[in-house]
Amino acid sequence: MSIDKKEHIMDVAVTLFAEKGFEGTSIRDLAHEADVNIAMINYYFGSKENLFVTLLEAKARFMREKIDAVQSDPSLSELDKINQIIDGYINRFLSQPAFHRVLQQELLVTNRELLHQSVTALFIKNTQDIVAIIEKGIRKKVFRKVDPQLLFASIIGTINQVMLSRTMCNILMNKEVDADPYKDPELKNRLTKHIKQMVQDHLLIQPVLQKQK
Amino acid sequence: MSIDKKEHIMDVAVTLFAEKGFEGTSIRDLAHEADVNIAMINYYFGSKENLFVTLLEAKARFMREKIDAVQSDPSLSELDKINQIIDGYINRFLSQPAFHRVLQQELLVTNRELLHQSVTALFIKNTQDIVAIIEKGIRKKVFRKVDPQLLFASIIGTINQVMLSRTMCNILMNKEVDADPYKDPELKNRLTKHIKQMVQDHLLIQPVLQKQK
DNA sequence: AAAATTTAATTAAACGTTTGTTTAATTCAA
DNA sequence: TTGAATTAAACAAACGTTTAATTAAATTTT
């Protein structure tokens, strides 16, 4: 039962941190929402900050594995790899909007240095790998001489922008203000289509046939 | 002297909020950093939250005026308008990275409803205007049938991504980790060039001559 | 113009809450 | 019966805000 309880606390913590931020979420809120005693959080995790780091490490592995897999697959073209990574990010971010929001917050706030650094470290490796793929495509002359780092920033940034605020996302999607856009498959479709098309238009020297009849 | 002091407090507040977030910045920190008495903040602004709203309203006018001006200029093509808006956003964001970071934080955190709503409202109008410009270009058949909302998300999102974290930006720019990338004109140049090129590749039916000799 | 009076600015101290954390006692399972 | 799980209560510290007193500036009255 203790392991279930620990994971239950982590689940609730992700949601609360996502809604209210790290500072904005009190241990008492968290304990009440998870229906456990206040002392249990420090009992399990030592401290509030350590709870956060645990959350981070537990959930951050997925995207790295995805990138590693794509990168070492020789049957994929560079554009295929980029497209699969785009799919990976969209799936990842949309399936865990709460957690993703917490990550963003920690990147924005710099006074909790440990947290900030561990989140930053996650992004560094991903950036390097994707830049390497793009640069390889450029050397092969299947890609134009684009700015690899900033193109990656555009891919991630587009998703981040949509994830920034539920309200904002609803406005972008022309939905009611109180809808839950992240569960709507339409968002995923539009987002995937838009990013892939934009990246392709920007990258490819020989534009592929556009299906616009 | 009181007006100077009020503005001085606001200046310090923007910086501190940007570094530590809204919850993470205490009135005592702020008072100490601004070298005023703790009570002066409530004396001038009523409350901490109201100080934030005041900050918002005082600084948010610029971008709206820029968009309004561009929109009503008949001598500009749709692509010109988009390009000028891109310039506007890049100038705005890069010149006030601290303030911009506070805005992002408030979009991410939803438990301070008043602040969240007032920040969201700012973005709504801007989105609508830019979408309208893109849609006009599509009707005129100078633009492809793109996703206007998500293209706007890509433009803003790219800049936001770079602004997310000083450390991350330095990595993207291949600078030392402790550099100040936002004062580096190279970032502005790269960012402007990349976004305009990407948007153009994505939007234009007849690709203009690429200067890649 | 000087003095008196009113208003605004500024201060130190205290307010009541809430914060994250700890303690010491108790319940539960092995 | 031993060790882990769980609890209520208390901890000191920090929070945003308020108060009541004091200084500075402005206004009015003499």
Average pLDDT over residues B11-35: 90
User: What pLDDT, on the 0 to 100 scale, is given for residue A149?
Assistant: 96
Average pLDDT over residues B194-211: 81
User: What pLDDT, on the 0 to 100 scale, is given for residue A22?
Assistant: 86
How far apart (Å, rounded) are the C-alpha atoms in residues A121 and A98? 20
Average pLDDT over residues A128-148: 95
Task: Give the pLDDT band (50/70/90) at residue B122.
Answer: confident
* For residue B172, pLDDT beyond 90: no
Query: Would the Cβ of A26 be found within 7 angstroms of any atom in strand C?
Result: yes
Q: What percent of chain B has pLDDT over 90?
A: 54
User: What pLDDT, on the 0 to 100 scale, is given for residue B198?
Assistant: 98
User: What pLDDT, on the 0 to 100 scale, is given for residue B207?
Assistant: 55
Task: Give the pLDDT band (50/70/90) at residue B212.
Answer: very low
* For residue A136, pLDDT beyond 80: yes
Q: Give the CA-to-C1' distance from B156 to D16 in angstroms.
A: 35
Residue type, A42: N
Sort out which chain B residues have CB atoms less than 8 A from A115's CB and list them. none
Highest mean pLDDT among A92-106, B117-131, B144-158: B144-158
Average pLDDT over residues A140-162: 96
CB contact under 8 A, A147 and B212: no
Q: Rounded to a whole number, what is the largest CA-CA distance in chain B? A: 64
Task: Give the pLDDT band (50/70/90) at residue A118.
Answer: confident
Listed range (A67-76, B11-20, B38-47, B203-212) with the worst mean pLDDT: B203-212
Average pLDDT over residues A186-194: 96
Q: Give the CA-to-C1' distance from B45 to D17 in angstroms.
A: 12
* For residue A209, pLDDT beyond 60: no
Tokens of B20: 């530590």
End-to-end CA gap in chain B? 59
Tell me the domain boundaries of chain A. 1-46, 56-207
Average pLDDT, chain B: 88
Q: Does B191 touch chain A (CB under 8 A)?
A: yes
**B-contacting residues in A 98-127 (Cβ below 8 Å):** 101, 104-105, 107-111, 116-117, 120, 123-124, 127
Query: Would the Cβ of A42 be found within 7 angstroms of any atom in strand C?
Result: yes
Listed range (A72-76, A207-211, B21-25) with the worst mean pLDDT: A207-211
Q: Does B195 touch chain A (CB under 8 A)?
A: yes
Q: Count of CB atoms within 10 A of residue B39's CB?
A: 10
* For residue A13, pLDDT beyond 80: yes
**Within this chain, domains B1-46 and B56-207 share the same CATH topology:** no
CB contact under 8 A, B190 and A147: yes
Triad A57, A104, B130: Cα angle to 5°: 150
User: What pLDDT, on the 0 to 100 scale, is given for residue A3?
Assistant: 62
* For residue B29, pLDDT beyond 60: yes
Please give the full DSSP string across B131-169, using - where no structure is assigned.
Answer: HHHHHHHHHTTSB-S--HHHHHHHHHHHHHHHHS-HHHH
Q: Does B208 touch chain A (CB under 8 A)?
A: no
Listed range (A143-152, A153-162, B100-109) with the worst mean pLDDT: B100-109
Query: What 3-state DSSP class applies to A204?
Result: strand
Sort out which chain A residues have CB atoms less than 8 A from B143's CB and list them. none
Task: Give the pLDDT band (50/70/90) at residue B210.
Answer: very low
How far apart (Å, rounded) are the C-alpha atoms in residues A188 and A91? 8
Tokens of A2: 């203790």
CB contact under 8 A, A108 and B105: yes
Q: Give the CA-to-C1' distance from A26 to C17 in angstroms.
A: 13
Average pLDDT over residues B101-119: 77
Task: Find how far residue A164's CA is from the centre of its chain.
Answer: 11
User: What pLDDT, on the 0 to 100 scale, is given for residue B192?
Assistant: 98
From the list B116, B97, B105, the residue with the least C-alpha distance to B162 is B97
Alpha-carbon dihedral angle through residues A13, A14, A20, A21, given to the nearest 10 degrees: 100
User: What pLDDT, on the 0 to 100 scale, is given for residue A154?
Assistant: 98
Q: Does B144 touch chain A (CB under 8 A)?
A: yes
From the list A163, A91, A89, the residue with the least C-alpha distance to A122 is A89
- Which of A25, A94, A141, A154 has the most B C-beta neighbours within 10 Å, making it the best mutation to test the interface with B? A154
Q: Which residue in B171, B190, B198 is closest to A127 by CB distance?
A: B171
User: What pLDDT, on the 0 to 100 scale, is given for residue A29?
Assistant: 94
Highest mean pLDDT among A96-100, B97-101, B192-196: B192-196
User: What pLDDT, on the 0 to 100 scale, is given for residue A208?
Assistant: 53
Q: Count of CB atoms within 10 A of residue A71's CB?
A: 15
- For residue A72, the 8-state DSSP code is T
User: What pLDDT, on the 0 to 100 scale, is given for residue A108?
Assistant: 81
Sort out which chain B residues have CB atoms less than 8 A from A190's CB and list them. 147, 150
Q: For residues B114 and B156, which has the higher predicted lDDT (pLDDT)?
A: B156
CB contact under 8 A, A144 and B168: no
Record: fold of A1-46: Arc Repressor Mutant, subunit A (1.10.10)
User: What pLDDT, on the 0 to 100 scale, is given for residue A211?
Assistant: 46
What are A88-105's pLDDT values in tens digits?
999 989 988 877 887 888
Q: Count of CB atoms within 10 A of residue B161's CB?
A: 25
* For residue B201, pLDDT beyond 80: yes
Identify the CATH assignment for B56-207 out of 1.10.357.10, 3.40.50.1860, 3.40.190.10, 3.40.50.300: 1.10.357.10
Q: Is A14 exposed, middle or buried (0-12, 13-18, 19+ CB in 10 A)?
A: buried
Task: Give the pLDDT band (50/70/90) at residue B1.
Answer: very low
From the list A58, A172, A80, the residue with the least C-alpha distance to A134 is A80
Query: What 3-state DSSP class applies to B204?
Result: strand
What are B53-94's pLDDT values in tens digits?
888 887 777 777 888 899 999 999 999 999 999 999 999 899
